[in-house]
């Protein structure tokens, strides 16, 4: 089986944590790697953003990333990429023609890629599997007052994909409900496949590892640590955590606690300075450390160094950070939104907070930091919970969905075949 994966607006090889790179990058790369290890030939098409990337990158046997030139390398925001859909599709067609390739199936990620996948589906007569990752209607429902609403154009394009894709892959049953409620999707066209984590990389650290991680981060060994890992934008809620921490110090000025925020800005108006200034205005700047985005191999140390990890997002289709943290044996405090109630077992592997009120988040953080026995027990359970979510299992289920899509395509062709032909 040869699969064309399309991830136009962000490369799976890009460092997650800033700009447009995040959980989707991890998802695409991780599932593609596992599919390749299962014998599926995978080509991932993405838009080239610098000439030094090379046209074709051999990631591992059976997996290539093809950087397609479509528009200028730099200076295009995600909102401007629709102007390059034709150029991007043309670049894919040129590559396929030159290489004399045939793809059995197309798997598009995000609505921009879906529009290209929809075109290629009809040109190649290959089934289209689509994963939205986020939906305009859902983001607009949960956005903060400072967030720019998603456009009607995106909403219309997503509706077209729901109507025309052969199978829609989602992370949770909640996403199925979102597709049905907001886009009138047919439930039988939706396949639920939970993402995973690299549970061999993300593992609990022995005491020596934890001490080393803290020493390298410049954190005292006996200080309680709360970590946030993700893009610095209102939608991800770093401001909620900072205000909650300020409330904790208001209640107890002598509390021995540090906060780590690991990630880069995302969005036209987002800057690290905005959040450092917020910490300064709250009087907690000396308690907070901002860390640049880093590869998964280095994130492990942050998860191991933390006593708890906070995920105060306003919505998450699943919440990969929550699973990765729990795989390291670290409990998670998360908002009860989107897929996070599945990623976090409330009361067993962490705590779910009903809203984004800083006082309620302060209560939740204190409930774990001040109860060592409960927090340690949650850490043990967290690892066991995370072991249910692996990329190998996700890839196995994806391959089954691909088989279903191919079977549906064959049936459709048979039904369209003229009588007597």
Question: Which residues 6+ apart lie within 8 Å of 368 measured at CB?
Answer: 307, 308, 331, 333, 351, 374, 375, 378
Tell me if the pTM is above 0.85. Answer: yes
Annotated binding site for Mg(2+): 303-304, 306, 330
CATH of 207-386 among 3.40.50.300, 3.30.200.20, 3.40.50.2000, 1.20.140.10: 3.40.50.2000
Annotated binding site: 9, 15-16, 20-25, 78, 110, 134, 154, 231, 236, 294, 303-304, 306, 316, 324, 330
Report DSSP letters for 87-155, one per residue: HHHHHHHHHHHHHT---SEEEEEHHHHHHHHHHHHHHHT--EEEE-SS-HHHHHHH--TTSPPPPHHHH
Average pLDDT value for residue range 199-213: 84
Q: Which superfamily, per CATH, for 2-196+390-416? A: Glycogen Phosphorylase B; (3.40.50.2000)
pLDDT single digits (tens) 394-411: 999 999 999 999 998 776
CATH 3.40.50.2000 residue spans of the chain: 2-196+390-416, 207-386
| pLDDT of 364 higher than 60 | yes
- SS3 assignment, position 162: helix
- SS3 assignment, position 11: coil
pLDDT single digits (tens) 217-231: 889 889 999 999 999
Q: Which residue has the tokens 């429902």?
A: 141
Angstrom CA distances, 147 to 150, 257, 266, stand at 9, 30, 12
State the average pLDDT for the chain.
Answer: 93
pLDDT single digits (tens) 52-73: 888 999 999 999 999 999 999 8
Annotated binding site for 1D-myo-inositol 3-phosphate: 9, 20-25, 78, 110, 134, 154
Average pLDDT value for residue range 240-262: 97
| pLDDT of 417 higher than 60 | no
CA distance 239 to 241: 5
Annotated binding site for UDP-N-acetyl-alpha-D-glucosamine: 15-16, 23, 231, 236, 294, 316, 324
CA distance 175 to 36: 27
Q: Which of 93, 71, 73 is nearest to 82 (CA)?
A: 71
| pLDDT of 119 higher than 80 | yes
- pLDDT score at 138: 93
| pLDDT of 270 higher than 80 | no
- SS3 assignment, position 44: strand
- pLDDT score at 210: 80
- pLDDT score at 321: 96
Q: Which of 140, 142, 113, 138 is nearest to 128 (CA)?
A: 113
CA distance 18 to 371: 34
pLDDT single digits (tens) 335-345: 999 999 999 99
Q: What angle is formed at CA 144 by the lines to CA 138 and CA 146, rounded to 5 degrees?
A: 130
| pLDDT of 420 higher than 60 | no
| pLDDT of 109 higher than 60 | yes
């Amino acid at each position: 089986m040869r699969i064309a994966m399309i991830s136009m607006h962000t490369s799976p090889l890009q460092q997650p944590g800033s700009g447009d790179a995040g959980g989707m990058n991890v998802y695409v790369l991780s599932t593609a790697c596992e599919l390749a290890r299962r014998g599926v030939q995978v080509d991932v098409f993405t838009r080239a953003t610098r000439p030094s990337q090379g046209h074709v990158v051999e990631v591992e046997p059976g997996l290539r990333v093809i950087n397609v030139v479509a528009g200028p390398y730099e200076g295009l925001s995600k909102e401007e990429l629709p102007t390059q859909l034709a150029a991007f599709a043309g670049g894919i067609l040129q590559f396929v023609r030159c290489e004399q390739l045939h793809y059995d199936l197309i798997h598009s990620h995000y609505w921009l890629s879906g529009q290209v996948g929809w075109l290629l589906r009809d040109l190649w007569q290959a089934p289209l599997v689509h994963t939205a990752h986020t939906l305009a209607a859902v983001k607009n429902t949960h956005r903060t007052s400072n967030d720019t609403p998603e456009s009607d154009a995106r909403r219309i394009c997503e509706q077209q994909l729901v109507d025309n894709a052969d199978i829609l892959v989602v992370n949770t049953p909640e996403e199925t409900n979102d597709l049905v409620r907001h886009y009138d999707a047919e439930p039988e066209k939706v396949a639920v496949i939970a993402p995973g984590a690299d549970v061999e990389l993300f593992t609990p650290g022995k005491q020596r590892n934890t001490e080393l991680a803290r020493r390298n981060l410049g954190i005292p060994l006996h200080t309680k640590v709360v970590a946030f890992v993700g893009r610095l934008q209102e939608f991800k809620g770093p401001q909620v955590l900072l205000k909650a921490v300020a409330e904790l110090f208001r209640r107890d000025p002598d509390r021995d606690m540090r906060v780590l925020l690991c990630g880069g800005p995302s969005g036209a108006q987002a800057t690290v300075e905005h959040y450092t200034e917020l910490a300064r205005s709250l009087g907690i700047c000396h308690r907070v450390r901002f860390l640049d985005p880093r590869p998964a191999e280095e994130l492990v140390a942050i998860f191991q160094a933390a006593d708890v990890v906070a995920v105060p997002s306003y919505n998450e289709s699943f919440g990969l950070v929550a699973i990765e943290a729990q795989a390291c044996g670290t409990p998670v405090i998360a908002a009860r939104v989107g897929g996070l109630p599945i990623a976090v077992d409330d009361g067993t592997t962490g705590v779910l907070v009903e809203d984004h009120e800083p006082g309620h988040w302060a209560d939740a953080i204190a409930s774990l930091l001040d109860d060592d026995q409960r927090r340690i027990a949650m850490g043990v359970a967290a690892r066991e919970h995370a072991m249910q979510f692996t990329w190998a299992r996700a890839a196995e289920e994806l391959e089954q969905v691909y088989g279903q899509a191919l079977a549906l395509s064959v049936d459709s062709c048979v039904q369209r075949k003229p009588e007597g032909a």
